[in-house]
Structure 1
């Protein structure tokens, strides 16, 4: 699933009823999750955070901007923060399975809609910027709302969308795609702010002023201070003292965590602190973070410990939390701090059920969870066993030469297992969508035509979900088969149980594709049946091949 974060900043931070009415626009859109509302009284500004799939996020962003334009009058606005519009800025940030270019395209669609339907001039910034001068938001916002009336008339400051006229009531807005910004503080065992500041100057990309041997600042011919770059790119940092904690911190903004990771930053500050006789005691994440940014940290520290990275996701996260000391000041809760987990918390999911609860629910007279979901569950258990055997085989005497493959199999098994767990819910949800389409009204011919299209669409999705389960099971057979060759022979029965579970998964998924495909129009039905025949043949061949291997080892 593609995920985008949107963080609009509105020019109202004091009137709670207005803030809530604007933020509640997000809740009207399905597949969008409102994560945070952060008002500032002195700045008279509120930062609203929501996340979801691309098109719903675009819709939610537009509705929010529209409601802000109705309720906020810039002619009456005052506050400490610079601003130029009722919605001052609206960034779109790729979180998962989506490229920056896709976010740029969405930002332009949103900008066009805002300018045309709300008559608000739009400037594109960051990765969406039309020229280098507009990359930095501060350049666009310079002069603020009051100065925009003259600025927007200049040839070099024509808006990217809309007329060269500042909207009297709503001002202008900046819309653009940018990388996820992680606010990250690292704690030191000192109350000396100077040490924290000195470390910040050495690591931040902007660096510190160059000095001659006498300690004097070096300037160029125009009088500009020359800088010595810091050790970390995409890093902004300052040092400060926190009264509440009675310790100094290096406060950091990572503007591209994919290029400068959290663990690299943490280790760099540790080294710099050691040089100054100080020690890092822990760190903290301010706000939210994407899942992969913390998983990367856990995998880094597992590799340093020469341990397998093919373990459950939450165990990897726990290693990261411990290694970075993220609970040093306050408990780090993955359900609160990680975007994907925050979304999962808002959704009902079978994965949160206890085993007995799920078994009992399946046994009731309700259609979900049904055979498709249980097929996915069986596959998840098969991949759990696959990962278990790979990890038991890792670093075992006599099998060390296969360590790299053991880790690859364990990691891939975990990946398949996690996806199959998600498919348990998706299969049940797909059935609900078919039922909802069937229940649509059919009083008029227009109703009948619309209902037919919706049933067809829902049924296609109901066939696609078990098809994905089948595809995963076919790919998973290869992992089980390889473990027969390089796995711990004492675990051969675990491999065998995994194989039979996987075969049950493939057969169950295949039946669920068929029952849905046969209800489709001919073209769609033929397409599914063709894929099914190929996958069924592969599943049977791979099952028989691996079954023979297991039986030979058991003898």
Structure 2
């Protein structure tokens, strides 16, 4: 599988959209690099440009963008709220898939060396690309900003890692490194006071605030036995934060970098800022995401806020994201479009979800057409997903049933299980058709020579095995969903017992239909030991599904008195 890295370059221009477009054109000129997001900010006078691709192509795109930014941006005239030191202020590389942090750091060093040597821009390494940990922190490197770097760069301890030891008047200096995924996140306040925003930032950020005697702002700094200032740690780990005023919006914000969202997720940071702001008589009005965010962060946030309301978390991915957006006010300052802000959605292969993206009518029309796919395997998976969906519906109705408030968490867990089976089966709808297409493609391979024949035969066998495995997964998922279905008949909302009964019929159909596909594809597979094993296991799943369906239908009829 291909190695993928992400580059989240920050350019010191957020007003002139023509300059930004010229820079992003350079990124898009590199074949194989995908531009994911362009996020300009007028008040900060800064644009975050996010792109992804194979490492060598990403560093080529980054180099071209840095070169173009140096030509177009004049740092001697640049002003903005965000700290900065160069036209390309910071250029981090982030490992996305099939690549280690160590490898990513080496690519960052390659890029830094090229920028320093070819463009003659002073370059500092940071985070995982910087071997000297005393100067690996971005805020430490950038201290003094552009204006202060004319003197700072002359200090022996601040000689750049690459490029001349002379701050470029027009282009400034650049920081290049490798880091884990970072979420840039701002929380909006109902105040215009930068001082009060900073006070809240100091309350929450990991570094906290300097300890002073008496007055926390003007009092004498307290030092340890070595003369170093003591600090009071903030309440959030892996969080950097400052307060600032954004003239564009007429509000102050807490600007945060969440450097490890496994330690401090976005929703935890939001709630903690709300708490600290309330303690100071200030109210949070919403928040703002800068750049992109992983899907899991949004789903976790949606579940977190639903649980606070004692509501079921077993709802669709789309609903969880909607809850997260509304709960954190991510759309207060402008529209929040998940398809443009969630990294997995931007990387998603749309062709891989062609069928499940169709309307019901279009899906039916496509099935009824002269094309052999989608066929019985995809339909079996889809029927199974409907069964799991009905089970989830009953669980959610039960979770919200009047008088059953004490049981909301129990039914929420069942609903969440149903959603997982539904999602798995939906994904298998397109995968089954892809498996069929893979077989057709392998049969179309050339067979003129013995070598071509051997290659073709090997491809046919690989495709056949894949076409066995996909419907077998449908069988397993549909059978597993029957546990939820049975539970909903037994303990769920009695007004919806027939819905759970229909779910059982769907699940059984999915199992039996998918097994037909397993058997017909297995007939063309040469590994007979594998075939005997898969058919044996398939027969057992089929037997269990038929027995469970009969048991569930009997329970349903008993509940409705028939």
TM-score (norm 2): 0.77
1:404-415 correspondence runs (5 A): 404-415=409-420
Q: 1:179-205 deviations in whole A, cap 9, x for unaligned?
A: x21111111112222211111111111
CA-to-aligned-CA distance 1:45-99 (integer Å, 9 cap, x gap): 9965345xxxxx5xx222333576799889x989757689x998552345xxx7x
Out of 493, 497, 504, the position equivalent to 2:502 is: 497
Contact 1:69–1:87 (8 Å) recurs in 2: no
CA deviation after TM superposition for structure 1 residue 12, in Å: 12
Tell me the distance in 2 between the aligned counterparts of 1:255 and 1:87: 18
Query: Could you say which residue in structure 1 is the equivalent of 2:93?
Result: 91
C-alpha deviation, 1:304, in angstroms: 1.3
Shift in CA distance, 315/67, structure 1 to aligned 2, threshold 3 Å? closer
Change in CA separation of 1:422 and 1:5 when aligned onto 2, cut-off 3 Å? farther
Q: In 1, distance between residues paired with 2:226 and 2:132?
A: 26
Q: Which moved more, 1:61-70 or 1:467-476?
A: 61-70
Q: Report the Cα offset of residue 275 of structure 1.
A: 2.1
The residue aligned with 1:513 is 518
Distance 1:239 1:538 in 2: 59
Distance in 1 of aligned mates of 2:212 and 2:297: 36
Q: CA deviation at 1:312?
A: 1.5
In structure 1, distance between residues paired with 2:247 and 2:532: 67
- Taking a change above 3 Å as real, the CA distance of residues 88 and 515 of structure 1, as seen in their structure-2 partners, is farther
Secondary structure of 1:256's match? coil
Deviations 1:299-333 (A, max 9, x none): 11111111111112212222221111112111211
- Partner residue, 2:79: none
Equivalent-residue separation in structure 2 for 1:303 and 1:71 (angstroms): 44
Report if the CA contact (8 A) 1:402-1:486 is conserved. no
Are residues 1:479 and 2:484 paired? yes
Q: How far apart are 1:366 and its partner, in Å?
A: 0.9
> Which residue number corresponds to residue 259 of structure 2?
255
**Which of 270, 275, 278 is residue 274 of structure 1 equivalent to?**
278
Change in CA separation of 1:506 and 1:125 when aligned onto 2, cut-off 3 Å: farther
1:209 correspondence with 2:210:
yes
The answer on whether the counterparts of 1:104 and 1:128 sit within 8 Å (CA) in structure 2 is no
Residues 38 and 291, structure 2, Cα contact 8 Å, conserved in 1: no
**Structure 1 partner of 2:553:** 550
Q: Choose which of 233, 245, 253 in structure 2 pairs with 1:229.
A: 233
Compared CA separation, residues 103 and 500, structure 1 to 2 (3 A): farther
From the superposition, tell whether residues 37 and 518 of structure 1 become closer, same or farther in structure 2 (CA, over 3 Å).
Answer: farther
Other-structure match for 1:197: 198
Asked if the contact 1:7/1:47 (under 8 Å) is kept, the reply is no
Deviation string, structure 1 residues 337-390 (Cα, Å, up to 9, x no partner): 122233448546222221111111111111222212111111110010010111
Q: Give the TM-score taking structure 1 as reference length.
A: 0.78
Q: 2:101 aligned with 1:107, yes or no?
A: no
Alignment of 1:386-397 (within 5 A): 386-394=391-399, 396=401
* Residues 122-521 of structure 1 aligned to structure 2 (within 5 Å): 126=127, 132=133, 136=137, 176=178, 178=180, 180-213=181-214, 215-344=219-348, 346-347=350-351, 349-394=354-399, 396=401, 403-521=408-526
The aligned residue for residue 80 of structure 2 is: none
CA contact 1:238–1:250 (8 Å) conserved in 2: yes
**Residue segments in structure 2 that go unaligned for 5+ positions in a row:** 14-18, 76-83, 118-122, 144-148, 163-173
The C-alpha deviation readout for 1:463-498, integer Å capped at 9, x for no partner, is 322222222112212222222322223322211111
Tell me the residue number matched to 1:536.
539
User: 11-20 or 269-278, which moves further after superposition?
Assistant: 11-20
Deviates more, 1:498-507 or 1:484-493: 484-493
- Seen in structure 2, the aligned counterparts of structure 1 residues 200 and 312 have a Cα distance that, compared at 3 Å, is same
Asked if the contact 1:514/1:529 (under 8 Å) is kept, the reply is no
Match of 1:163 in 2: none
Instruction: Indicate whether 1:62 and 2:56 are aligned.
Output: yes
Secondary structure of 1:213's counterpart equals: coil
- Aligned partner of residue 356 in structure 2, secondary structure: helix
**Do 1:463 and 1:513's aligned partners in 2 also have CA atoms closer than 8 Å?**
yes
Distance 1:123 1:350, change over 3 A: farther
* 1:36 equivalenced with 2:57 (yes/no): no
Label 1:473 to 1:217 Cα distance change in 2 as closer, same or farther (>3 A): same
For residue 289 of structure 2, give the secondary structure of its aligned residue in structure 1.
strand
SS in 2 for 1:252: strand
Equivalents in 2 of 1:384, 1:340: separation in Å? 23
Q: Tell me, what secondary structure is at the counterpart of 1:244?
A: coil
Q: 1:124 to 1:449 in 2, by over 3 A?
A: farther
